[in-house]
């Protein structure tokens, strides 16, 4: 499966404090780091961020001064965006320590610094650690601002993203809805953060298979952002890109192409021809062309995104690995299995350096590599990878997570190929139970698994099972049209 990432909007990272806290030259340097970061000029932001931190330390020594905390924080954010998580973490922690020492561990400044650490762990796939930081931030925000404050809504929004990744969809939905309610109450219907919340709700409804709700929410979000921020704004472009990805996944290719084109035009008008967000849209466009079977254009878009990412970020970055995974997918679909394996291995080497084993991108690429071995009839190697990934997902996500159902489905297909029919059937049945339980009886993912199960029934010549399954599939499709 190709990797397409919907962006869930987490808290802001760059922190502003009253100007009297800063020497003017340091304030100017910190502000310029932010400007360069927003422009996607990450290498320039990195160089200036290092100088700002050096100057802060030179001017203030070991004093716990907020200016040094801000410099640490900003530099940490640049490292974070560059995929250099090991460099980012001590800077985020130092910034938090300074602010806690200066203002107290439960001051109103602290939640944002905790959220930065939570976001870093989220990027790594360390969901339990991410949740811990976000929960602490939420507790402090409630104490300082109250339960119905926009700052508290930000913490709820961040926690919702973690719960969603963990497979706790009802908790995620509840938190997203609460964040939206708070923002509507205090900021009004016509505010960008309200539009952001609408987009996040759309994302989870899409994942839950409630496509009409998701579509309506995306359109409401775009209307909100057009009114509050204008169409030529990064947030509008990101929501439009997410909406296009949803359309593409539904086979609404004409809509997806139109929305991707507009998102790309907006991003180019804001950032110029080279920016990580432009590479994201190009990668998404590549997946659209791949889904259409236009491998030539897909290849060009995947390669262009890959080279832009290596130029702007680094050779060792999760987005570069995502591009390698997508290129591998293209080779796999063309039957060029050695080239597919090469790209998947390269992607996994990067992921293994940066991410935890349970990260979804690690799992997806491992599955893709196993599919290559299955296609090559190297069943032993394919089974080894599929079983490893199943155990990994069960250990970190729980036995009833939808991603566990993906692993069970893949193993069931492999066991069908290997004529291990008893094991195939038990894996299919468990996979179906999980998806029905977690995502509902009419979810698109259930149809995919049932269609795979149908292949198993046809292979084993189970005519009674086929008749029953065909009736079930017809009923699900009828329900989806209502």
Q: Are 112 and 11 in contact (CB under 8 A)?
A: yes
Amino acid 3: pLDDT: 39
Amino acid 5: pLDDT: 40
Q: What is the dihedral of CA 215, 217, 222, 227, to 10 degrees?
A: 150
Q: Are 141 and 151 in contact (CB under 8 A)?
A: yes
Domain ranges of the chain: 377-482
Q: Who's near 301: CB < 8 A, 6+ residues apart? A: 282, 283, 285, 286, 289
Among candidates 76, 72, 11, which has minimal Cα distance to 42? 76
Write the DSSP string, 230-281: -SSSHHHHHHHHHHHHHHHHTT-HHHHHHHHHHHHHHHHHHH-S--HHHHHH
Amino acid 60: pLDDT: 85
Which of 123-137, 348-362, 444-458 is predicted least confidently?
348-362
Burial state string for 378-406 with b = 16 or more CB within 10 A and e = fewer than 16: eeeebbebbeebbebbbebbeeebbbbbb
pLDDT exceeds 70 at position 296? yes
Which of 19-33, 79-93, 419-433 is predicted least confidently?
19-33
> CA-CA distance, 268 to 273, in Å (whole number)?
5
Question: How many CA atoms, within 13 angstroms, populate the side-chain half-sphere of residue 407?
Answer: 27
Among candidates 32, 30, 15, which has minimal Cα distance to 102? 15
Residue 346's SS3 state is helix
Structure tokens at 326: 């997508």
Q: 465-475: per-residue pLDDT in tens?
A: 999 999 999 99
- Sign for the pseudo-dihedral over CA of 312, 90, 172, 347: positive
Q: Who's near 431: CB < 8 A, 6+ residues apart? A: 405, 406, 408, 409, 412, 449
DSSP state, 20? Answer: G
Please state, as a whole number, how many other Cβ atoms lie within 10 Å of the Cβ of residue 323. 28
Residue 408's SS3 state is helix
pLDDT band at 14 (very low <50, low <70, confident <90, very high): very low
Q: 77-127: per-residue pLDDT in tens?
A: 999 998 899 999 999 999 999 999 999 999 999 999 999 999 999 999 888
Q: Helix axis angle, 379-397 relative to 360-375, nearest 10°?
A: 160
Amino acid 17: pLDDT: 45
pLDDT exceeds 50 at position 173? yes
Provide φ and ψ at 32, rounded to 5°: -70, -35
Q: Are 379 and 411 in contact (CB under 8 A)?
A: no
Q: 305-339: per-residue pLDDT in tens?
A: 999 999 998 899 999 999 999 999 999 999 999 99
Amino acid 167: pLDDT: 80
Among candidates 1, 42, 48, which has minimal Cα distance to 25? 48
Q: 428-445: per-residue pLDDT in tens?
A: 999 999 999 988 888 888
Q: Which long-range contacts (CB under 8 A, 24 or more apart) does 382-385 make?
A: 382/414, 383/411, 383/414, 383/418
Q: Which long-range contacts (CB under 8 A, 24 or more apart) does 457-464 make?
A: 459/416, 459/421, 460/421
Provide φ and ψ at 465, rounded to 5°: -65, -35
Q: 363-409: per-residue pLDDT in tens?
A: 999 999 999 999 999 999 999 999 999 999 998 888 999 999 999 99
Tokens 């296609």 locate to 375
Q: Are 318 and 124 in contact (CB under 8 A)?
A: no
Amino acid 390: pLDDT: 95
Section 404-421 average pLDDT: 96
Amino acid 396: pLDDT: 83
Amino acid 12: pLDDT: 42
Structure tokens at 218: 């995306």
* Model confidence, pTM: 0.85
Looking at CATH, the fold of the domain delimited by 377-482 is given as: 1.25.40
Write the DSSP string, 131-184: HHHHHHHHHHHHHHH-TTSHHHHHHHHHHHHHHHHHT-HHHHHHHHHHHHHHHH
> CA-CA distance, 280 to 264, in Å (whole number)?
9
Among candidates 137, 133, 120, 152, which has minimal Cα distance to 13? 120
Amino acid 304: pLDDT: 97
């Amino acid at each position: 499966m190709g990797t397409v990432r919907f962006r869930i909007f987490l808290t802001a990272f760059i922190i502003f404090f009253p100007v009297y806290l800063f020497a003017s030259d340091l304030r100017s340097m910190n502000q310029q780091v932010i400007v360069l970061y927003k422009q996607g000029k990450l290498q320039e932001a990195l160089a200036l961020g290092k100088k700002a931190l050096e100057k802060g330390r030179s001017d203030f020594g070991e004093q716990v001064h907020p200016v040094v905390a801000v410099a640490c924080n900003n530099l940490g954010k640049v490292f974070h965006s560059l995929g250099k998580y090991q460099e980012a973490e001590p800077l985020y922690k130092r910034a938090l320590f300074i602010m806690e020492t200066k203002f107290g561990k439960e001051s109103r400044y602290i939640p944002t610094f905790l959220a930065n650490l939570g976001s870093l762990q989220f990027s790594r796939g360390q969901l339990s650690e991410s949740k811990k930081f976000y929960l602490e931030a939420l507790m402090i925000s409630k104490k300082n601002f109250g339960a119905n404050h926009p700052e508290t809504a930000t913490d709820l929004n961040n926690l919702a993203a973690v719960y969603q990744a963990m497979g706790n969809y009802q908790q995620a939905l509840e938190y997203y809805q609460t964040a939206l309610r708070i923002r509507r109450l205090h900021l009004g219907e016509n505010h960008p953060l309200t539009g952001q919340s609408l987009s996040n709700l759309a994302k989870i409804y899409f994942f839950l298979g409630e496509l009409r709700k998701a579509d309506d929410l995306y359109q409401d979000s775009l209307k909100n952002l057009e009114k509050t921020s204008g169409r030529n704004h990064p947030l509008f472009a990101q929501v439009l890109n997410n909406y296009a990805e949803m359309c593409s996944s539904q086979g609404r290719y004409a809509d997806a192409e139109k929305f991707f084109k507009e998102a790309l035009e907006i991003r180019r008008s804001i950032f110029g021809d080279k920016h990580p967000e432009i590479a994201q849209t190009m990668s998404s466009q590549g997946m659209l062309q791949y889904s259409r079977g236009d491998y030539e254009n897909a290849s060009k878009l995947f390669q262009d995104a890959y080279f832009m990412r290596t130029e702007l970020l680094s050779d060792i970055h999760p987005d570069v690995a995502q591009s390698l995974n997508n290129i591998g997918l293209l080779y796999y679909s063309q039957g060029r299995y050695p080239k597919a394996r090469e790209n998947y291995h390269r992607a996994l080497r990067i992921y293994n350096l940066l991410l935890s084993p349970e990260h979804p991108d690690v799992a997806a690429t491992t599955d893709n590599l196993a599919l290559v071995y299955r296609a090559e009839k190297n069943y032993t190697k394919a089974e080894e990878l599929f079983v490893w990934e199943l155990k990994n997902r069960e250990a970190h996500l729980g036995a009833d997570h939808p991603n566990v159902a993906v692993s069970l489905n893949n193993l069931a297909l492999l066991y069908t190929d290997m004529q291990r029919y008893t094991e195939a059937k038990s894996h299919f049945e468990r996979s179906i139970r999980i998806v029905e339980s977690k995502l509902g009886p009419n979810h698109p993912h259930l149809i995919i698994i049932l269609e795979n199960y149908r292949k198993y029934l046809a292979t084993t010549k189970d005519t009674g099972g086929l008749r029953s399954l065909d009736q079930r599939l017809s009923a699900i499709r009828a329900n989806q049209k209502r």
